Structure 1
Amino acid sequence: MFDGAEITSPELDVMLILRYADRPVIARQLAEQTHRSRAATSKILAKLERRALLSRRPSTSDRRASLVQLTDQGRQVVDELFPRQLAVEARLLGGLDAERRAKIVEGLMELVAELERMSADRWSFTAAPVAAVGVDAAGVVPQRSSAAR
């Protein structure tokens, strides 16, 4: 599907969100909606911006945030590629009977729910491994004696 295409699948994911947003989107929200790290999202945005497919500008209400929107060229790319992607997916599912399609959709919905749960919980589990190692109040992991190793 994306062989020889101007953009990659992760880039198209970001561009689709922007294409159907009714206003510029904060970069952090793109990371959350695509279930990617802020760093990965920033790299995607930088690549798309270099190719003039989107523009970023500082938020007037929060200087730390940037507002992202597609350029006319970016909208044109989405309008060309997205129908092709849908056609490929329709062909893939078209060979399956209704029961098998329903099972696939059910499994995908469960996967999406799990991803959303993991995304919401991502900060709640980070302290557990740290506590298990025995980090002190200063964030230092105490050295074990050679006899304990």
Structure 2
Amino acid sequence: MTAGNGGTPPGRGAAAEETATGSRATLGPAHDTVAGVVRQWQTVHPGLDTGPMEIIGRINRCAALLQQAEDAPLRRVGLTRPEFDLLGALRRTGHELTPSELTRETFSSGAAVTKRLKQLTERGLVERRGDTRDRRVAHVRLTDAGRDLVDGILPEQLTYETAVLSGLDNTGQRELAGLLGELLGRLEGRLGALRF
């Protein structure tokens, strides 16, 4: 995915080949915001390989736009996305987790998880119990109210996500999921040690 990887992504053809100036042509459609940014950089630095920007820039822009809209159902029940992710981790694993485990599950910092747990505990959505062998360790679980909240909002969330992706047919969604899965797997292997 990075510049100079020695290969052309399958299916990209001439669009990803070197141009006469030594930089790659734009990989994606020319009508999105990132394409405009790329064209501006290519004007300023004609020999610059903007391939990574075309991928990472679009991922970041999509994530920002999705998060803004995706938070709407959660705001209705008074949750932020990070709080929902924490509750979701407890629900999908089906057992108690320590704050350290929640940090890894939600890709958050320890301080952020501590703050969210305090807020969710005050709302009665999670509860903590001390470890009988180590007083420094806490175990966190969903309350009945927390489980009901997650189960109630999840179908609405999935309905929203289905609507967001409806512009892509099933084949396009599978291809995108596969490419993102491949990228994520590589990044997790390479950058996993840098997690908070």
Q: Which TM-score band applies after superposition, normalised by the shorter structure?
A: 0.7 to 0.9
Give 1:76's aligned residue.
148
Tell me how far 1:113 sits from its aligned partner. Answer: 2.2
Give 1:8's aligned residue.
80
In 2, the alpha carbon distance for the partners of 1:119 and 1:72 equals 36
Give 1:44's aligned residue.
116
TM-score (norm 2): 0.56
Give 1:89's aligned residue.
161
Give 1:61's aligned residue.
133
Equivalent position SS for 1:17: helix
Percent identity among equivalent residues? 35
Aligned-partner residue type, residue 32 of structure 1: R
Task: Indicate if the aligned counterparts of 1:18 and 1:70 stay in contact, CA closer than 8 A.
Answer: yes
* Per-residue Cα deviation, 1:94-123 (whole angstroms, up to 9, x for no partner): 331133212321243145325533663127
Q: How many residues align?
A: 123
**Bigger RCO (CA 8 Å, 6+ sep):** 1
Give 1:129's aligned residue.
none
* Per-residue Cα deviation, 1:60-90 (whole angstroms, up to 9, x for no partner): 2332221000111101110111111111111
Give 1:116's aligned residue.
188
Equivalent position SS for 2:119: helix
Root mean square deviation, CA, Å: 2.0
Higher helix share: 2
Task: Call closer, same or farther: CA 1:44–1:118 in 2, change over 3 Å.
Answer: farther
